[in-house]
Amino acid sequence: MNPTKEHELHRLASAVCGGTATDGELRDLQELLEGDQTAQEIYVGYLEMHNALADILSEQPQTELASRSRRRAPSSGRTLGSGKWARYREALAWGVAVAACVLLLFAYSGRDVDKKQPMLAKIEEPGGLAAIELGPIRIGPGTMEVKLPKVGTMVVDGPAEMEWLSPKHLKLDSGKIKMHVTEKAGYGLLVTTPHGVVKDLGTEFGLDATQMEATNLVVFNGEVDLSMPRMSDIPLVQRLKQGDGVRFSGNGKYDRLMSIITRKVGTFSAPESIGDDSLPTIVNVTDDLSTSSTKHYFEIVAGGFGEDMRAYVDRIYEWNGMNHQGLPDFLLGADYVKTFNDCKQQDFEINVEVSRPCQLYVLWDERVQYTEWLTADYERMEYLVGLDESHRPDKAGLRDTTLGVGPGESITNTFSVWRREVKEPGTIVMGSLESTTDHCNLYGIVAVPLPQGRPELGTSHTQVIPLAVLP
């Protein structure tokens, strides 16, 4: 569906949900939907999303929108509230009724979002495979992966409480999940949280609903739509793309989620939620950019640096060794930061907080002139690291965009390795690239605890490339 048609579909669906659709708009809606399965699925998903938002509104104290309960009251005892929230719900009910009539005009045979059918998902765990059916689910401490037929996979970090309302609508009451929608039939998946509704647009995203006051959302790949209730009758819809992270509180307000921590398994954590017994070397990364200038986050990957590892949160580029001998030994398995490239030309500072003495490394794009802050605080080493940028879009279709696998494969650009010894826990300030060209990448950040972080130059199996032959 082209963007113009999709925008008109959303406008008409909004009018239906708001109870303001005219006869002419209903006829226009019917024409858009008739014979177009994609439009029909988008429309039903839109109605389902608004219904979920109305559920959130109906559960909130009218005097304080931000305060809420994690548990939904039993249906027999629920009150819809008064004033505009009740009017919104009544308008939505009218809109759904109209929607049903419109769909029946051409015998729409899509999914019934209210029909309770078994959810034949399989949970992979040591005890074997178990089936999940629609309804409430409570998961204890630990991490598990759930296979969702015709959708993809879901990783859950418990404890968590959730409820499958339909095969493509999950209500997350508490806990952390990571959804990876891999099947086309799964596009449009909805996840309702206590503070808003996330609609998948073919992607991988994570949600942290462990705090009462707000929910954290990060987009690892693709795009999502985040809908949040507001004091006005019209919810705020915000489209988020790969590398974006926000913390939303359910009153139409959100803030940028500055950084997250990930590990080899599980979902993600905000830095403030990490306990002292599991602190990585890099515990937090911040900058001085505003939410209005970017919604990108820094991803701290604990113990994750290695071959074919993603370098940026907003690009599908990968770190690799320059040749078959691979990356320098002393960097393997270290904590590293996925930075972002969209702001590489802006003037900003990055603050890296470390929890212990360490060797702090900066991987610098050799196409960019060395800055004063880099040469003053860091020592250049005789090592190089490669970056595979093969996944860059190729509109002409003239080159292979497949990422290489393994060291020395598909190396696009070269990065030099710079080292600084940090003798005690604290925050290290790094500057911007100070580059005027777009043909460059932001630097990478790696940390290795002392004394393991002291590489013995010349003893690594990795080739030492003389500075004289550097590009």
DSSP state of 74: P
- Domain membership of residue 365 (yes or no) is yes
Does an H or E element contain 165, and which?
strand 152-166
- Domain membership of residue 245 (yes or no) is yes
**What pLDDT does residue 29 have?**
82
Range from 28-42, 270-284, 349-363, 413-427 carrying the lowest mean pLDDT: 28-42
Both 209 and 291 in one domain: the answer is: no
- How many helices (H) and strands (E) the chain has is answered by 5, 25
> Per-residue pLDDT for 88 more than 60?
no
Domain containing residue 153: CATH number: 2.60.120.1440
- Domain membership of residue 113 (yes or no) is no
Both 378 and 442 in one domain: the answer is: yes
Both 303 and 363 in one domain: the answer is: yes
Provide the 10 A C-beta neighbour count for residue 401.
Answer: 12
pTM score = 0.72
Query: Last residue of a domain, which of 232, 253, 274?
Result: 253
Both 313 and 450 in one domain: the answer is: yes
- Domain membership of residue 361 (yes or no) is yes
Query: Last residue of a domain, which of 253, 280, 301?
Result: 253
* CA dihedral (177, 183, 186, 189) positive or negative: positive
Both 263 and 238 in one domain: the answer is: no
Both 399 and 296 in one domain: the answer is: yes
For the stretch 193-208, pLDDT in tens is 999 999 999 899 999 9
- Domain membership of residue 109 (yes or no) is no
Mean pLDDT of the chain: 78
Confidence of residue 396 (pLDDT cuts 50, 70, 90): low
- Domain membership of residue 428 (yes or no) is yes
Range from 37-41, 78-82, 92-96 carrying the lowest mean pLDDT: 78-82
Partners of residue 380 on adjacent β-strands: 418
Structure tokens at 240: 């988020």
Structure tokens at 143: 């991490």
Both 434 and 454 in one domain: the answer is: yes
Range of the domain at 90: 3-104
- Domain membership of residue 110 (yes or no) is no
Both 273 and 341 in one domain: the answer is: yes
Both 338 and 355 in one domain: the answer is: yes
Query: Last residue of a domain, which of 205, 236, 253?
Result: 253
> Per-residue pLDDT for 395 more than 90?
no
Both 145 and 86 in one domain: the answer is: no
Confidence of residue 44 (pLDDT cuts 50, 70, 90): low
For the stretch 115-174, pLDDT in tens is 333 333 344 433 333 334 678 999 999 999 988 888 899 999 999 999 999 888 999 999
For the stretch 398-446, pLDDT in tens is 556 788 888 888 899 999 999 999 999 999 999 999 877 778 999 999 9
- Domain membership of residue 37 (yes or no) is yes
How many domains, in total, are found in the chain? 3
Both 266 and 377 in one domain: the answer is: yes
**What pLDDT does residue 222 have?**
95
Both 227 and 336 in one domain: the answer is: no
The DSSP code sequence of 290-332 is -TTT--B-EEEETT---TTEE-BSSS--EEE-SSTT-S-GGGT
**What pLDDT does residue 54 have?**
52
Residues 6 or more apart whose Cβ sits within 8 Å of residue 441: 311, 312, 317, 341, 344, 365, 387, 389, 413, 415
